[in-house]
Amino acid sequence: MALSRNWMYENNGGTCVAIAGSDYCVIAADTRLSVGYSIYTRDYSKICKLADKCVMASSGFQGDLKALQKNLAAKHLIYQHQHSKQMSCPAMAQLLSNTLYYKRFFPYYTFNILGGLDSDGKGCVYTYDAVGSYERVGYSAQGSGAGLIIPVLDNQLKSPSPLLLPAKDAVTPLSEVEAVDLVKDVFASATERDIYTGDKVEIVVINASGIRQELMELRKD
């Protein structure tokens, strides 16, 4: 135990999903917080609003998750004072990557998805690993249920290969309502087989008219 630093970490589970459309972005996460076979709470929000058009959903270790959210909020406050404006989503994506990589050898044990609108008003989703490697994608899933959800999203949304030239747009062809329904479906499915996903799913939709939030009940067992 003394040799490993595993005791500093815990896995609190949780699943995050995000889908980018041409003029909207849907970001969702379940609200269960667990460790091992126990549930700490059924009502913990893993989604954090970082800027006007930028939200982050995270799973992993709740302690690091909170620290990361605080850190980004502080950095965003400084940015606002220096630049007199809200940070854009692509800028926040780079900031999150730098913040994660800064702790490369004692990482934040969090698996994040950043979603929002870019400066053209197009939906954007950024997906991360725990040490800051990131990519802009059309859709993504992270956390304990990601393995169950990703192939379903592949089937329904199919993303163009990043190797294609000229580069293809990664946004999905779905309408906002269809995307929200798809998110509800994949969470209902993941809840059936993943013990760390359940209770409720919090869905945040960002579009030109602002941010909207809704909750859907999931299985509680």
Partner 1 sequence: MLPWQIFEYNGSALVAMVGKNCFAIASDRRLGVNLQTVATDFQRIFKIHDKLYVGLSGLATDAQTLYQRLIFRHKLYQLREERDIKPETFASLVSALLYEKRFGPYFCQPVIAGLGDDDVPFICTMDCIGAKELAKDFVVSGTASESLYGVCESMYKPNMDPEEQFETISQALLSSVDRDCLSGWGGHVLLVTPSEVQERTLKGRMD
Binding site for partner 1 (CB under 8 A): 145, 147-152, 154-155, 185-186, 189-190, 192-193
Spatial contact of 196 and 13, defined as CB atoms under 8 Å apart: yes
As measured in angstroms, the least distance from the Cβ of 212 to partner 1 is 25
Alpha-carbon span 112 to 141, nearest angstrom: 9
As measured in angstroms, the least distance from the Cβ of 123 to partner 1 is 22
Nearer to partner 1, 108 or 139 (CB): 139
CB count in 10 Å sphere of residue 184: 16
As measured in angstroms, the least distance from the Cβ of 188 to partner 1 is 8
Alpha-helix runs per DSSP H in the chain: 62-83, 89-102, 146-157, 176-193
The 47-51 sheet, strands edge to edge: 47-51, 54-60, 110-117, 123-128, 134-137
As measured in angstroms, the least distance from the Cβ of 150 to partner 1 is 6
Nearer to partner 1, 89 or 190 (CB): 190
Spatial contact of 29 and 14, defined as CB atoms under 8 Å apart: yes
Nearer to partner 1, 62 or 144 (CB): 144
Nearer to partner 1, 147 or 162 (CB): 147
Nearer to partner 1, 115 or 145 (CB): 145
As measured in angstroms, the least distance from the Cβ of 156 to partner 1 is 9
Query: b vs e for 102-136, b when ≥16 Cβ sit within 10 Å of the residue's Cβ?
Result: ebeeebbbbbbbbbbbbeeebbbbbbbebebebeb
As measured in angstroms, the least distance from the Cβ of 196 to partner 1 is 13
CB count in 10 Å sphere of residue 79: 17
Nearer to partner 1, 89 or 170 (CB): 170
Give the tokens for residue 220.
Answer: 């509680």
